[in-house]
Structure 1
């Protein structure tokens, strides 16, 4: 499958989810503000969400997709791949149930240790986390079915599923717009309901693809042992960002009331390109790289990573620089109002302008890690993860005392680049992936176009002035103007000066949607 086509399918549907997520955050900022109840909910949402990214998405995809692909494209075909999936499910499901039950029992001390909260705020955060935590079990099962569908190059359902969570949470706030603990409780219920709906969608999509799994008795079969050997180290290797999220929560909760909320709203804008570009690239190229490596064609595997790097930088460079330059106008236009004050806008914008500087690096990590996972090498990312995690902790202790929440944002950005550089150097030394001349030339041209775009954004910001803090209509016009100006300068210029593969782009426009990508 064409890498541009795959990324377009996944990224487009992920964009639907991100737009729904923006609607959710815009409504939440006005109803909840940067309050103690908002902080408590965000802790409750972050705990299962972090475990979900660590176990469900990162480790599971890294271990499951290559092994499923090998069986599906091997002698056993679909039947052998289905048997492997059922064996993994038989062990995976009871493990998740046990893990969830244990955490429900010990939730109070866990939330207290992570948040540092006390009194009523701790009680509320603990209650909300108990309500949201079953989402981990549900969404981890979603990851299993997503892995199956992605291996079959059926990306649609898995890419759309996150939108259902955002819609469920939006519905909860529309039904209970009171604010405070009442709305926070409704949001927590919405999280778990969203997980149920997502799982139902993925099970139905897998059945349409001809994969209907039955529950087996748990057994450590050779296939499960192979899966576990890959997944255990991949839990750390693929989860450096998620493990860091626990550390970030620990520090954010101790910076003071509002810090969790400021970071959340800044990260919402940061997550837009991360989700649309990073997740799409990582999902699209892992099966392709695994297939080429399995066939012994390392040159083609490296070419896929090179094309993904080009596409990543084509989209990430303008996104990162635009969010950095236009942080305050965008935050003000999207979130200011109701309980979210101008001071909240200023602090949130500062966090955003710093954290997005690590955006290209984080997306590149999604491109580089398949070079290890496709070769069933999860030990190397583990070592890298451990080093970067330690560096992130040290940076937090060094930067937070003098700079507060801005220091935490800087630590995240620096750690992202450190992780990216280390992974690339290792792949380069092993001869698995190197930046070729054609790739370096295109990225250099992308930087030139991005610099011109920055100039245009600064000009628009100066001309429009207070439009970004005026009425709703003026704010929306301001956002459209600044986004439109950036795109109008960057993309035509990058086309003219040769910052992308024109032939691949033209082929994407001409090509009809493949039948096997439906569903």
Structure 2
């Protein structure tokens, strides 16, 4: 294999690669919804459900920092630099040493967490401490789920290598295995256990093993299967660590805010953690399918443009990414706001989940939709910093946003008066507000530094986008039945109605855009004016 393969892809490759990642991610998210339907039917929004969601969220949150978040954003630019400036042997050596150091640190963190599971439960769900059974179950499940951190972070490391070499489909498909594993665990393991939620915890562990094993043959195919070596003082390893430490905040602030929400929600009425989980899962669908896919694809491209000092292409890639996120994010946020109850009823109101749970989750879902576009913009703006190996600016912005989130929590979520108790809805609203602050500061920094300069046509593009979204929203309001009528429908009828609603809304949105002159070819080149 030669380094000539590292030539920068043309702009059309961004669209095709984003589409590949989006399709694979969509498959994963659809199966994820199927997984959550099974979980909701089995455990609903009970105390045991709260315990499982906390036990699963902790390693999942840390995974996003180690794998998808800070590590990936620090590792990919350095790997791109080694590919451009050094021989293949140097690339292999970097991968081997990073695998050794990252794996060693993760093993240590995992071992400490398993040993100190009650302490971990106290830190992340202090509100459970007064409920002995709930607290004990949470600690027991943390011991089972926490090794997932090591397994999935190494999976993320493997995926970052594959993405850097243009193999986007395999890492994008890998999360499907988590959903399949949890569905199988819910159907075949949980019914055979005294506490069904414990079967889900074992499903998480099995998923991590499957996901890591799945990617190894593809690394071997490109001759980059890691051979872990502990080399803490290696120049490349130190550079990645230097970039990664501040990036822990810079790229993952929204996830930190969500975790803080879980901590506060543990003090709120039983079900609050679950309500936030179900609403967050729906927000994660467009976020994962669109924004994370685009952010994943543009990072290697931005890194190459930065190494080549191609400021025009760098700015053009960011402009393309922002327009693509708005094209998909604006209608998604509006549709989720309008269809909150019907979507939740269609997906989750089976078995143990009651109508009150749907109503509570719908309120937090609507609060999250106000921040959805900000969540998506963060995913494509942050790579603009990390591709230039600038982690100091995002960490400053991240700290500001996190402090702001806590202030918003005090304003919206903490009951200050018996007439003013927004509870879990306030937590979602606070997260949305801090996300907008984060996105705005990231955008301002890129613009002021000259890394991003908006291209012409933004006013016309915005008017077209808002017109199409307005037409879609009008159709959804006209067709939407009362919540009570929707609840009375059977599972098949709910699904059919939802497909017709979403399909009709999407067709109207696309038709209005087409009538106003927006074409798919406009997104195939970075220099095309919209």
TM bucket, shorter chain: over 0.9
**Does the CA contact (< 8 Å) of 1:460 and 1:481 recur in 2?**
no
C-alpha separation between the residues in 2 aligned to 1:440 and 1:251?
A: 41
2:81 matched to which residue of 1? 70
1:85 maps onto 2:82 in alignment: no
C-alpha separation between the residues in 2 aligned to 1:217 and 1:481?
A: 55
C-alpha separation between the residues in 1 aligned to 2:393 and 2:488?
A: 48
Match of 2:66 among 55, 75, 98: 55
1:451 matched to which residue of 2? 470
- SS of match in other structure, 2:86: coil
**Does the CA contact (< 8 Å) of 1:310 and 1:443 recur in 2?**
no
**Does the CA contact (< 8 Å) of 1:132 and 1:191 recur in 2?**
yes
Structure 1 runs of 4+ aligned residues shifted over 4 Å read none
2:124 matched to which residue of 1? 114
C-alpha separation between the residues in 1 aligned to 2:375 and 2:21?
A: 18
2:111 matched to which residue of 1? 101
1:483 maps onto 2:494 in alignment: no
- SS of match in other structure, 2:195: helix
Which runs of 5 or more structure 2 residues have no equivalent in the other structure? 1-8, 416-420
- SS of match in other structure, 1:211: coil
Residues 376-396 of structure 1: per-residue CA shift (max 9 Å, x gap):
100000000000000001111
Shift of 1:268: 1.2
- SS of match in other structure, 2:444: helix
**Does the CA contact (< 8 Å) of 2:100 and 2:228 recur in 1?**
yes
- SS of match in other structure, 2:451: coil
C-alpha separation between the residues in 2 aligned to 1:212 and 1:57?
A: 19
Shift of 1:346: 1.0
| More divergent stretch after superposition (448-457 vs 494-503) | 494-503
**Does the CA contact (< 8 Å) of 1:314 and 1:500 recur in 2?**
no
Which runs of 5 or more structure 1 residues have no equivalent in the other structure? 508-519
1:5 maps onto 2:53 in alignment: no
Root-mean-square deviation over aligned CA pairs: 1.8
Provide TM-score, normalisation by structure 2: 0.92
- SS of match in other structure, 1:491: helix
**Does the CA contact (< 8 Å) of 1:57 and 1:143 recur in 2?**
yes
Shift of 1:177: 4.9
C-alpha separation between the residues in 2 aligned to 1:350 and 1:425?
A: 31
Shift of 1:397: 1.4
Residues 371-415 of structure 1: per-residue CA shift (max 9 Å, x gap):
111111000000000000000011111101231111111111111
1:41 maps onto 2:52 in alignment: yes
C-alpha separation between the residues in 2 aligned to 1:469 and 1:500?
A: 41
- SS of match in other structure, 1:172: helix
C-alpha separation between the residues in 2 aligned to 1:419 and 1:330?
A: 28
- SS of match in other structure, 1:437: coil
1:168 maps onto 2:178 in alignment: no
C-alpha separation between the residues in 2 aligned to 1:228 and 1:219?
A: 10
Match of 2:137 among 107, 118, 124: 124
Shift of 1:498: 3.0
| More divergent stretch after superposition (154-163 vs 467-476) | 467-476
Match of 2:208 among 187, 195, 217: 195
**Does the CA contact (< 8 Å) of 2:190 and 2:197 recur in 1?**
no
Provide TM-score, normalisation by structure 1: 0.94
C-alpha separation between the residues in 2 aligned to 1:356 and 1:206?
A: 38
| More divergent stretch after superposition (288-297 vs 112-121) | 112-121
1:386 matched to which residue of 2? 399
**Does the CA contact (< 8 Å) of 2:51 and 2:137 recur in 1?**
yes
C-alpha separation between the residues in 1 aligned to 2:353 and 2:449?
A: 51
Q: 1:230 to 1:174 in 2, by over 3 A?
A: same
C-alpha separation between the residues in 2 aligned to 1:181 and 1:289?
A: 51
1:213 maps onto 2:233 in alignment: no
C-alpha separation between the residues in 1 aligned to 2:230 and 2:362?
A: 52
C-alpha separation between the residues in 2 aligned to 1:500 and 1:387?
A: 39
| More divergent stretch after superposition (361-370 vs 44-53) | 361-370
